[in-house]
Amino acid sequence: MSEETGGPVRVLIVDDQALMRAGFRALLDAEDGIEVVGEAADGRAGLELARLHTPDTALIDVQMPVMTGIEATRAIAADPLLSGVRVVILTNYGLDEYVFEALRAGAAGFLLKDTEPAELLRAIRVAASGDALLSPAITRRLIGAFVARPPDRSTAPGFETLTRREREVSALAARGLTNEEIAAHMVISPFTAKTHISRAMIKLGARGRAQLVLFVYESGLVTPGEPGRGPSPA
């Protein structure tokens, strides 16, 4: 149960380093409104605990034995019974290929392991609420990493099903704009902007805003460093 429904945000910690798990647990146990429901040292055990406890947020390390964090994330995203579990990937390395693979697999976002405690706590709550975990600053870093990447339209089929508005808001989100900034740019309400983004994610099968951003760039709808392409009417 999440804070939105009156209960604590329920968190699962999955990391093969015992010291790291202990540090996360100590931080979270000391925080009001957050409950750690379990710990696991590998992805397979983490997946089993996710199915047992259905946490709001799962903190999952990328590289682990038995089953990697990417494989665990993919399994969670594919399980209809775990549709409410938001995966936050933990990494030491920043924007590397592991992070891209995790976001493609359906992670809500990622955090560096040396993230400040306050930022970690905020990210857990944001992810649990279902909102976008990637801040505009992180989104811009993600965009920068695509500069040298050619579009791969085979990775994100379904853009032809988007309406003109849905393409436009998706392109703006991929350029790092918040819902409020998108609303101001398009002269619509933030609620309408969020609705368009939600519908685009459903049509594309994107598990979250982070995955939507990846799909937009990999499809070539937006090119890094250039304005979004004019969408065709729908």
Residue 11 above 50 pLDDT? yes
- The model's pLDDT over 74-123, given as tens digits with 9 standing for 90+, comes to 999 889 899 889 898 888 766 567 777 777 788 887 788 888 888 888 88
pLDDT band at residue 146 under the 50/70/90 scheme: low
Phi, psi of 34 (to 5 degrees): -130, 135
pTM of the model: 0.71
The pLDDT, as a whole number, for residue 209 is 77
21's tokens: 């798990």
- The model's pLDDT over 15-70, given as tens digits with 9 standing for 90+, comes to 999 999 999 999 999 988 999 999 999 999 999 999 999 999 999 998 898 999 99
3-state secondary structure at position 49: helix
CB 88, CB 73: distance < 8 Å: no
Closest C-alpha to 144, from 176, 114, 101: 176
Closest C-alpha to 9, from 134, 124, 131: 124
User: What's at 44, amino acid-wise?
Assistant: R
- The model's pLDDT over 194-213, given as tens digits with 9 standing for 90+, comes to 899 889 988 888 877 777 87
pLDDT band at residue 224 under the 50/70/90 scheme: low
Residue 156 above 80 pLDDT? no
Helices (H), the chain: 18-29, 43-53, 69-78, 97-105, 117-129, 136-145, 164-174, 179-186, 190-204, 209-219
Residue 153 above 60 pLDDT? no
How far is Cα 155 from Cα 153, in angstroms, rounded to an integer? 5
How far is Cα 54 from Cα 97, in angstroms, rounded to an integer? 28
Query: For the chain, what percentages of helix, strand and coil (3-state, to nearest 5) are there?
Result: 50, 10, 35
How far is Cα 137 from Cα 141, in angstroms, rounded to an integer? 6
The pLDDT, as a whole number, for residue 133 is 57
How far is Cα 26 from Cα 123, in angstroms, rounded to an integer? 17
CB 126, CB 36: distance < 8 Å: no
The pLDDT, as a whole number, for residue 131 is 61
Any idea what DSSP says for residue 80? G
CA distances, 48 to each of 42, 44, 90, 107, 124 (Å): 10, 6, 19, 17, 20
The pLDDT, as a whole number, for residue 229 is 40
Any idea what DSSP says for residue 164? H
Residue predicted with more confidence, 190 or 214: 190
Q: State the SS3 of 122-134.
A: HHHHHHHHCCCCC
Residue predicted with more confidence, 187 or 152: 187
User: What's at 128, amino acid-wise?
Assistant: A
CB 223, CB 156: distance < 8 Å: no
- The model's pLDDT over 135-145, given as tens digits with 9 standing for 90+, comes to 555 555 665 66
